[in-house]
Amino acid sequence: MASDLPLDAYDKKILRLLQAQGRITNQQLAEQIGLSSAACWRRVKALEESGTIKRFTALVDPNRVGQPLTTLVMVTLVRHHIDNTAEFERRILEYPEVLQCYATTGNADFVLRVVIEDMAAYDRFLNEKLFSLAGISQVSSNFALREIKNETAIPIR
Amino acid sequence: MASDLPLDAYDKKILRLLQAQGRITNQQLAEQIGLSSAACWRRVKALEESGTIKRFTALVDPNRVGQPLTTLVMVTLVRHHIDNTAEFERRILEYPEVLQCYATTGNADFVLRVVIEDMAAYDRFLNEKLFSLAGISQVSSNFALREIKNETAIPIR
DNA sequence: TCTGAAATCTCTCTAGC
DNA sequence: GCTAGAGAGATTTCAGA
């Protein structure tokens, strides 16, 4: 249905606006990009169906829902089992307090961002979840003193 | 209007559902939490006004908009000028390719997540932007080999 | 101060060109 | 791509717990 790629100028404007205001009405969106509302609506649907728009979401302030502690965790695995990596990743996906996880170059194998209530809860996370995984070699916890920026909008060029 | 805090069970359900489906209709939302559509609507507005919901957004797949490269950058500042930190943070906020930035404990002063087109663009980012900032002592670039998880939904307990 | 019902207003989404 | 319009949903008002 939705052809893959390439995005034209209208699509790019749509993506910029929907990243800034996810609940803008289709009519306002259409007006701002300079298309009829039907044409705009079809483009938004196509962008959703092609996966360019993964989904819509509400961004919640973690401080206001009792999860003020952010930690960046560097994890290194032991090199013995080839299954370690797959198993590690599978378990990480199940932990809701781990919002992000990347396999990276450099000293650590993985970098995680963990959002949680307080130090006691983080201690439980380490002992009951992270340290219980097979094949963990090193874990380094870097606590966020301050959030300078936390943006979800990808620059559309 | 919106009293600060504390969230009751309805608010928590609303936050969970809106994080999962940012564009769910108010009627469906009301039905799923067990309130009338008017009551549900008022609660969503209150959550927005209080800042508990920061905003709504579309989550875009960076691969589909030509920004497939993610880098986690550890930055250390020199200790001489007290203004270094404030100036660094101010500039970081202006760089759209830097999606996230945290001041952290540990070896690095800051951890950044940068999303960008390719290595050439990353090289330009380093030389034209990051290295041009005053007071930079060390920069370590860790490239994301794979994204295991990239979630925005804060667990609501 | 909270609710729900109902009236009204606006937008979505399909159809047709 | 555009316009039109029925139906669906959002938003306000009002009255009751």
pLDDT 10s digits, A54-69: 999 999 999 999 999 9
CB A103 within 8 A of CB A110: yes
Q: Which residue has the tokens 């006691």?
A: A120
Q: Is B36 found in the same domain as B88?
A: no
Same domain? A134 vs A88: yes
**Domain check: are B130 and B72 in the same one?**
yes
A111 touches chain B (CB under 8 A): yes
Distance CA A65, CA B15 (A): 9
Check if B131 contacts A (Cβ < 8 Å): no
Tell me, yes or no, whether B119 and B94 share the same domain: yes
Q: Does residue B55 sit within a domain?
A: no
Residue B27 pLDDT > 70: yes
pTM of the model: 0.95
- Mean pLDDT (whole number) for B2-19: 87
Dihedral sign computed on CA atoms, order B110, B111, B116, B118: positive
Looking at the fold, whether B88 and B66 belong to one and the same domain comes out as: yes
Same domain? A78 vs A138: yes
Same domain membership, residue A44 and residue A68: no
How many domains does chain B contain in total? 2
Which structural domain, as residue segments, surrounds residue B122? Answer: 62-143
pLDDT tens digits for range A49-107? 999 999 999 999 999 999 999 999 999 999 867 788 999 999 999 999 999 999 999 99
Q: Nearest CA of chain B to the CA of A86: how many Å?
A: 10
Helix then strand count (H, E) for chain A reads 5, 5
Residues A96 and A136 in one domain: yes
Cα separation of B86 and A103, whole Å?
31
**Residue A32 located in a structural domain:** yes
The CATH number that applies at residue A99 is: 3.30.70.920
- Nearest residue, CB atoms, B58 vs list A53, A61, A65: A53
A39 CA, D5 C1': separation in Å? 16
CA distance A36 to chain B (A): 21
C-beta atoms of A105 and B145 within 8 A? yes
Express each pLDDT in A108-137 by its tens digit.
999 999 999 999 999 999 999 999 999 999
CA dist B145 and A109 (Å) reads 9
Helix (H) or strand (E) holding A93: helix A83-94
pLDDT of residue B5: 60
- Chain B neighbours among A 8-27 (CB < 8 Å)? 15, 18-23
Tens of pLDDT, residue by residue over B69-90, are 999 999 999 986 778 899 999 9
**Distance, CA of B82 to CA of A85 (rounded, Å):** 42
The residue to which tokens 């728009």 are assigned: A53
User: A44 and A90 share a domain?
Assistant: no
User: Is the pLDDT reported for residue B1 higher than 70?
Assistant: no
Q: Token pair for residue A3? A: 């052809």
